Amino acid sequence: MSNINNVSLKEKNSRNMIRMKILEIGDMQNGFIEPEGNLYVSGAKSLITPANEFLRQVSSGVFDLILIVLDTHFAEEYNKCEEARQFSLHCEYGTWDWELSVDVSGLMNAHYLMKNQFNMWSDKRAKVTCNDPVRQTAYDHLFCILTDPRRPSGMVAFDDFLKKFLTGQTPVETDVTLIGVASDYCNRFSMEGWLRRGARVTIIQDLTKGISKETPQILAEDKYHQYKDGRLRAVSSAGYLCELQGPH
């Protein structure tokens, strides 16, 4: 399939509302995706090739915003994290385990968000002092929107960034497309946060992996039946790319 180009951004629908398209790449890091990672999600390595192909297809301006979420932990504070109750230390900042497994080079309108919890919408951190000033700066920039997580600067919280990005004189409808891991942990929290903020969420189910549950099992849960109005769905990557191309 050829690369998708000239997709209209901020499309106005019949109600004269602007439609904003956001892609979230969730925790696609070596710690989860590679078998040698500290918290390998079974079968996740199989996501790398199709995810890279998908990202290549959507690299040329399909999305108004690409949000690359990085699970980011520090040995200085991990035992105080909720995740420490279930999992050993993983995705420690600056290590191979923390690095992305997929190729995000060339993606337009990309920003990063580092988080040290399952829920990227929360910011309940312990007060931690790191001996390394680089690590301290990274820790202080958790839950902020960044252009470079290796050299974090600016203190714009995620929700504040979204308000600036999405508000204006014209009402906005937000379409979020989600890929990554893990379906039953961080992806779930992300999805619920977007839904609470009124977005429509599409999960590319063949580009996600769960630890105990996969995407179809999660969306079949009773609490998500309220979104059968079309605000929440799961599709294949091939089907999604066909939708972007539109009628032939």
Count structural domains, the chain.
1
Asked if residue 11 belongs to a domain, the reply is no
Asked if residue 13 belongs to a domain, the reply is no
Asked if residue 1 belongs to a domain, the reply is no
- Checking DSSP bridges between strand 110-115 and strand 145-146, what pairing results, if any? antiparallel
Asked if residue 2 belongs to a domain, the reply is no
Rg of the Cα trace of the chain?
18
Report the predicted TM-score, pTM, of the whole model to 2 decimal places: 0.91
**pLDDT score recorded for residue 126:** 76
Domain that holds residue 83: 18-245
Residue 142 contacts residue 133 (beta carbons within 8 Å): no
Residue 150 contacts residue 85 (beta carbons within 8 Å): no
- CATH code for the domain in which residue 127 is found: 3.40.50.850
**pLDDT score recorded for residue 16:** 64
Asked if residue 133 belongs to a domain, the reply is yes
Asked if residue 3 belongs to a domain, the reply is no
Asked if residue 32 belongs to a domain, the reply is yes
Per-residue tokens: 153: 């600067």
The tens place of each residue's pLDDT in the chain, 248 residues long, gives: 333 333 334 444 445 678 899 999 999 999 999 999 999 999 999 999 999 999 999 988 899 999 999 999 999 999 988 889 999 999 999 999 999 999 999 999 999 999 999 999 988 777 888 989 999 999 999 999 999 999 999 889 998 898 876 666 566 889 999 999 999 999 999 999 999 999 999 999 999 999 999 999 999 999 999 997 889 999 999 999 999 987 65
Distance CA 211, CA 163 (A): 33
**pLDDT score recorded for residue 168:** 64
Asked if residue 123 belongs to a domain, the reply is yes
